[in-house]
Every structure is written in C-alpha cells, then in structure tokens.
Amino acid sequence: MSMAIARLPGTRESVSSFFPERAKAADSSVDVRMDIHDASRVEWSVSLPLPEGRPSAYSMSVEMDIPSNAFARHTPWDQLQSFTRLDGGETVELDGDILTIDALRRSAVALANQLGRIGEAFGRQCLVAASLFTRVPDPELDRALSAAIEGALALVDDARGKLCGTRRSDVAELARERLLVDEYASVRLLALLAGAERSLGVLADSRAPHAKDLSATVAKLESTIADALEVELAYRHAHGYICADPASHATLESYTDRASRLKKHFQEVLFLEPEVFHVAERLHHWVAGFVALVASTWAFVWQMALMKNSASSTSKVGSGIMMVAMIAGIIYATKDRLKEVGRAWISGNVHRFYAQRVARYRAPAKRLPGRDVVVTARESFEQRLIRKPDPLNPESGSLVPSTLIRYTHKGKVLPTPALALAGVRRVKHVFRYDLSPLFGRLDDAVKEIPVLDKSTHRVRFTEAPRSYRFPLHIRVESDGQTFEERAIVVLHKGGLDRLERFPDEL
C-alpha cells in the first residue's frame, strides 16, 4: 500500500462544482433535524438563514405524545437543555498570517464545516447511485467521488501549511493552539474517510440492476480511502497523537474522549451568549402585589360590613361575637387563598398572553465588540391530558389517555452584516430534552416469552425486548414556508433506543 497520495490539480474547484446545488441550499434553506443524543436525551435542531436587510420571523412547535402509563410528572424546563450557535462559514478562507487564537479557531471550524459538507454530499451521491430508481449509472461518478476525496485531502494539507506551522512571533498559547488545529484537522479527516467508507458500503450492497457496474468504482475508491487512512495514521503516529487501536479499549476510549474535547474546544467560538429570564419569575413581585391588593380590598370591604353590622346590634353579645369572629376568620382565610390561586393562575397561564421564557442571544464581545443581538425568542411549555381512540379498535369508542407536551418557540433572526461578511450563513438552535424521569415507570427492558422448540418438541423461553413508543413531531415556519419532521421515539427501561422514521420520510 503506497504511502504517497497524488493530489489532483484544481481539486478544490472540482469539489465545489460537484456540490453547487447543495452549497447553495445550505446557505438559504431551513434545516430541521431530530436524533437520539444519548441514552436519556432526544435532540432536535433548527438552522435558520441569517437575513440581509430586515429581521426574519420564525416559529417552532415540538410535540411529544407520551402514553399515560409511561408518563411521570416533571417540570419541562428542568429537562430542557438548549443553546444557540452560529453555523460557521461555508467556505474556508485560510490566512497564513493569523496571529490571534480566536481567528485561528474560526478558521479551524470553517475547515471542519467544509469537510463535513464534502462528506455529506459524498454520501448523498452514493445513495442516489445505489437507488433502485437510478436506471443508468452516472458515467462521471468515479471521477466525481475521487475528486471529493482528493479535494478533502488537499484542503487539509493546505490548512496545515497555512495554519499549523509555528512562527517565531508566536507566543506559547498561539503555538499550542496551532498544534490543536493540526490534531483537530486530523480528527475531522478521519471522520470524513470513515463516512466515505460507509457510503461505499451502500454502493456495494445495492440491489439496483446496474450494481455490478459499480464494483470497479467501489474497489478503486476503497483503495484510495485505505491509502489516505494509512497516510493519516502514520502522520498521527509521527506527531504523537492518540491512535485508536481496535485491540485496546483504552486507546479507543482515549481517542473518542480526545475527539469530543477538540470539537467542543473549537466550536466554543461559534456559541452565542444567552440572556434568558422566566417571565413568571420576573413578574412575581408585581403579580404578588396585584393579587394581594385585590384580596385585601375584598377582605377590607367585608370587615367594614361586619363592623357596621356589629355596631348596630351591640345588645347581642354571646353568640353574635362568635359568629362575627368565625366570619372574619373565613374572610382572612379566603383572602390568603385568593392570593395563592391568583399567583398560580397567572404563572400557569402567562404563556397564553406572552411567553413563559424570553431569550436574547448576543454575539460574544471577542467577535463583535458591540455584542450585537442576533436572535430574540419567546418560549413556552404546555402539558395537558388528552384522550385518543384506542389504536387496536378505533371505532369501538374506547379512549386511551396520554399526556401531550408541547414546546412553542417564536423568534426573530436579526441581520448582522459583520457576521455575514465573516462567512456566517445560518444560526442554529439545538435542543435536548431529558426523558429519564420516565424510565422509572417503564416495565422491565427484557421479557421472557414461551416458544416451541421444534427439534425437541418442548417449550423453551426466549428473551424479548419490551419497548415503548411515542410520536415526536417538529414543525417550523419561516418566511412563509413550513418544514416538518416526524418520528417515533423508541425507549425501554434502560434508556432511549432509536428513532423510527415514518415511511414517507425514509
């Protein structure tokens, strides 16, 4: 296996021409995604284009319909984790004269974004080529896919030459950051090669009539990827970076941990600074004062009425005094109850009038000294019990209870020319909802069921998974367009398992 890989001249132009429609769509379209983040959290994200000229309004609605037998009461705000960041520049502007850590990080993120775009489009092209609906293979497929791999390798080489080499003028922190950029570029390149290999597996397993004509292309590209992987692993060894050894769990764990740390280190430069407050908490004192005023006025009116009544009947002492005292106690108890009910009603219904939470997201001062507001948003949660027809026999009239959790988010993306000039095209909201309160209500993850062993004609037991399902629906409206994603969340006692897409979205 050769350790040298030829770089095609003009590779970057060939790569950009390979994905023109993809890059254009990424700049201007809304992107809605959902996934399982980890064993307890479901994640959804919405990317919105950065407008030019005037603010762009948008709205988002997320619904989870959880069966009542699996639902556990919890506070939705305590389970929600959210953050907003810039979707970095779509093109890489490499400058060899970078002298600040922040600019170096932005260039590294731009490099990672470009590699990600190449990898996504590579996979999409493979899916199209492997589809049963593609009757004739694209004669340019071999050249286009090879150009994508070569373009990614050339891009990393160029970045290393311009960003990672130390300069005499570098302070220690900047020199260290250049080494981290080099290692991060290596991690992103390995991820791209791994994704490309998986995409080639789709081509190899295709059942399309022309699949046999793709075997030569698959074999050639697999060899190219293997060569590139060998070169990159040798580079990592030479520079002392962690190399994952399939025979060592320690190195595998260390590699994944290091890759995660590098990603967070560099993407930190994209995060917007939130200013968040809950409306009910902010209005608490005003609401408390208003409700106390109403309750006290009500109690004072009744007290005056009682005093007037007692003054006109001074001759009646015994039972009259007891009756007045009892009525006065009822009045004051009702006053306190009015205050509590009033505060609870306003706090629980504030989202109907305005929102439960208000957020503003500002660009960090190290990026924009004026800390411009990029996004404003109003958010609310609603929980309510609903009853749906029994899915086993909807016409029977039987109803099944479930709890609907609805999260609504309405906001505006403000035009920020300075960010647009820096190559930023979109703003990305990421939300993670923790469903771990539900796990304690679920049945055992594995159940034993009887089956017949045909060879011995005896009953034996086999373990079967016990899973629960509920729908997750996301709806986003922006600039008159509607974007929707639907899936079924599959979970069990041990945590979240997977998302099952609806057939029309596969």
pLDDT value of residue 396 = 83
- Give the whole-angstrom CA distance, residue 265 versus residue 402: 42
Strand, helix or coil at 273? strand
| 199 Cβ contact list (under 8 Å, min separation 6) | 122, 123, 126, 127
Q: Is the dihedral of CA 140, 145, 146, 150 positive or negative?
A: positive
pLDDT value of residue 62 = 96
The mean of the pLDDT values for the chain is 80
* Residue 305 structure tokens: 């009425």
Q: Which of 412-416, 483-487, 492-496, 502-506 has the lowest mean pLDDT?
A: 502-506
* Residue 13 structure tokens: 């132009």
Strand, helix or coil at 354? coil
Instruction: Give Dmax (Cα) for the chain.
Output: 115
What is the phi/psi pair of residue 181, to 5°?
-60, -45
Does residue 8 surpass a pLDDT of 50? no
Does residue 148 surpass a pLDDT of 50? yes
What is the Cα 291 distance to its own chain's centre? 40
Q: At what angle do helices 141-159 and 11-18 cross, to 10 degrees?
A: 130
* Confidence grade of residue 2 (pLDDT, cut at 50, 70, 90): very low
| 380 Cβ contact list (under 8 Å, min separation 6) | 351, 355, 356, 357, 407, 408
Most confident of 1-5, 201-205, 344-348, 467-471: 467-471
* Confidence grade of residue 262 (pLDDT, cut at 50, 70, 90): very high
Cβ atoms of residues 86 and 268 within 8 Å = no
Strand, helix or coil at 397? coil
Q: At what angle do helices 215-239 and 172-204 cross, to 10 degrees?
A: 160
Does residue 350 surpass a pLDDT of 80? no
CB atoms within 10 A of CB 297: 11
- Give the whole-angstrom CA distance, residue 492 versus residue 443: 8
Q: Can you tell me the mean pLDDT for 149-173?
A: 88
Q: Can you tell me the mean pLDDT for 154-159?
A: 92
Does residue 7 surpass a pLDDT of 50? no
* Confidence grade of residue 205 (pLDDT, cut at 50, 70, 90): confident
pLDDT value of residue 281 = 65
Cβ atoms of residues 182 and 166 within 8 Å = no
Does residue 137 surpass a pLDDT of 70? no
* Confidence grade of residue 343 (pLDDT, cut at 50, 70, 90): low
Q: Can you tell me the mean pLDDT for 134-161?
A: 86
The CA-based angle 189-241-120, given to 5 degrees, is 15
Does residue 10 surpass a pLDDT of 50? no
CB atoms within 10 A of CB 407: 21
- Under DSSP, the state recorded for 270 is G
Q: Can you tell me the mean pLDDT for 99-124?
A: 87
- Give the whole-angstrom CA distance, residue 270 versus residue 273: 10
Q: Can you tell me the mean pLDDT for 398-420?
A: 91
- Using CA atoms, how far residue 209 sits from 136, 215, 392, in Å, is 9, 12, 40
| 249 Cβ contact list (under 8 Å, min separation 6) | none
pLDDT value of residue 15 = 39
pLDDT value of residue 277 = 83
- Under DSSP, the state recorded for 29 is S
Does residue 409 surpass a pLDDT of 90? yes
Q: Which of 111-115, 321-325, 463-467 has the lowest mean pLDDT?
A: 321-325
- Among residues of the chain, what percentage have pLDDT more than 70? 75
Does residue 138 surpass a pLDDT of 80? no
pLDDT value of residue 488 = 94
- Give the whole-angstrom CA distance, residue 229 versus residue 153: 10
The CA-based angle 107-113-115, given to 5 degrees, is 105
pLDDT value of residue 25 = 46
Most confident of 132-136, 212-216, 488-492: 488-492
Q: What is the pLDDT of residues 429-459, one digit of tens each?
A: 999 999 999 998 888 878 888 888 888 889 9
- Under DSSP, the state recorded for 392 is T
Q: What is the pTM of this model?
A: 0.73
- Under DSSP, the state recorded for 182 is H
By CB atoms closer than 10 A (0-12, 13-18, 19+), residue 506 is exposed
* Confidence grade of residue 334 (pLDDT, cut at 50, 70, 90): low
